[in-house]
Amino acid sequence: CMSPWHIQCLKTPLTAVPAGDWFCPDCSITTNGDGVNLLVLGLLMGMRRPRKDRLSWVTRDYFMSHSRDSGLFDDNILEFQRKIVERSGIGEHSYFPGAILASPPRLTMKEARAEAEMVMFGALDELFEKSRVRPKDIRILV
Is 24 in a helix, a strand, or coil? coil
% of the chain with per-residue pLDDT over 90? 0
Q: State pLDDT tens for residues 37-93.
A: 333 333 334 444 555 545 577 888 888 888 888 888 889 888 998 888 888 877 888
**Predicted pLDDT at 41:** 36
* Residue 40 covered by a domain: yes
**Predicted pLDDT at 121:** 82
Q: CA 52, 56, 59, 60 torsion: positive or negative?
A: negative
* Residue 16 covered by a domain: yes
Distance from C-alpha of 24 to C-alpha of 18, rounded to nearest angstrom? 12
Question: What domain range is 130 assigned to?
Answer: 7-137
- pLDDT band for position 16 (50/70/90)? low
* Residue 77 covered by a domain: yes
Give the number of domains in the chain.
Answer: 1
**Predicted pLDDT at 5:** 47
> What is the dihedral angle through the alpha carbons of 111, 117, 120, 122, rounded to the nearest 10 degrees?
-110
* Residue 124 covered by a domain: yes
- pLDDT band for position 36 (50/70/90)? very low
In order of 21, 104, 129, the CA distances from 88 in angstroms are: 20, 24, 28
* Residue 2 covered by a domain: no
**Residue 122 clears pLDDT 70, i.e. is over it:** yes
* Residue 1 covered by a domain: no
**Residue 30 clears pLDDT 50, i.e. is over it:** no
* Residue 102 covered by a domain: yes
Least confident of 27-31, 33-37, 111-115, 128-132: 33-37
Is 37 in a helix, a strand, or coil? strand
**Residue 135 clears pLDDT 50, i.e. is over it:** yes
* Residue 142 covered by a domain: no
